[in-house]
Structure 1
Amino acid sequence: MDIITTITKALTAAGVNIDLGEILKSKEFKRAEIENQLRDDLREQFQAEIQDVQNAREMQNNALKQTDLFSKRFIYFLAIGLLTIMASVTLLPFFFQFPKANEILIAQGSDFVRSAVYLVLAFFFGTKMNPKNNSNANI
């Protein structure tokens, strides 16, 4: 015999008129509804990020059509500058002695710089996800 029916019978015998199976089914339904809503929100966020990257690529294509050399090469200057800053922040602790008390602050600062560089580079050069790939459709 199912444990839920056993508990329901025991509750009914005790004078409590509750069908435990119906209560649990409604909770499962609510959980599934919340999961579907979260899945839809994640899908919308992913589509917005892909659209954002497409806008950056369109911006780069428009910049390449201009006659100004700086506008054409801005993305490359930005990438070189950000990679230089990231490399210097990463290598700086190897060449200079920092106080032990500031160790956590230095680690947080270098993590922040690295994360910012990765985000900017991912914005301009794209992400690993391909929106036309069917394997990413179930996100």
Structure 2
Amino acid sequence: MGILNSITGLIKTGVEIADDFITTEEEKFEQMLKKEQLKLEREKAYLQDLKSARQMQIEALKQDDTFSKRFVYYFAILWTIIGASYIIGITFFEIPDKNIRFADTTLGFILGTIISQIIAFFYGSSLGSKSKEEVLKKFSK
């Protein structure tokens, strides 16, 4: 993740420097369009990953083995129970002062990744990604 953050930081810095040299409205619009296209490509890669996971589940459902058919559901239930248990534990039990930061970081991870990815897998991506794609299609025409 450190390398990815460094690259992202360099890209942001490069974009900020480019903004200093871009003077016309047309150039600014083209830069904005390029930024949005990069965001769209990132979103497409994310959605492709979800699609391949769903395709894997479709293939699993075709098998005769009951455990294979239900593995994704067992996995989601397990992590939901772990996440809910942790949230309940951190809410209702005393946490030593030296562990509060660790507990908060873990809570953020559980809420930001585990639970959100389970929801995204079963219910799809946000509506915002669809609207972004529609806007970019309009601009690219």
Does TM, normalized by the shorter one, top 0.5? yes
Q: Distance in 1 between matches of 2:132 and 2:108?
A: 31
1:36 aligns with 2:30: no
Q: TM-score, normalised by structure 1?
A: 0.69
Q: Is the 8 Å Cα contact of residues 61 and 68 (structure 2) preserved in structure 1? A: yes
Counterpart of 1:127? 125
Q: CA RMSD in A?
A: 2.6
1:47 aligns with 2:44: yes
Q: Is the 8 Å Cα contact of residues 40 and 133 (structure 2) preserved in structure 1? A: no
Number of equivalences:
115
Q: Distance in 2 between matches of 1:96 and 1:75?
A: 31
Q: Distance in 2 between matches of 1:130 and 1:50?
A: 13
The structure in which a higher percent of residues are helix is 2
Identity between Structure 1 and Structure 2 (%): 30
Q: TM-score, normalised by structure 2?
A: 0.68
Does the C-alpha gap of structure 1 residues 134 and 31 become closer, same or farther in structure 2, counting only changes over 3 Å?
A: closer
| Superposition deviation, residue 74 in structure 1 | 0.7
| Superposition deviation, residue 129 in structure 1 | 3.0
| Runs of at least 5 residues in structure 2 that lack an aligned partner in the other structure | 1-20, 137-141
Which one scores higher on RCO, CA 8 angstroms, separation ≥ 6? 2
Name which of 102, 107, 115 aligns with 2:112: 115
Name which of 69, 86, 98 aligns with 1:89: 86
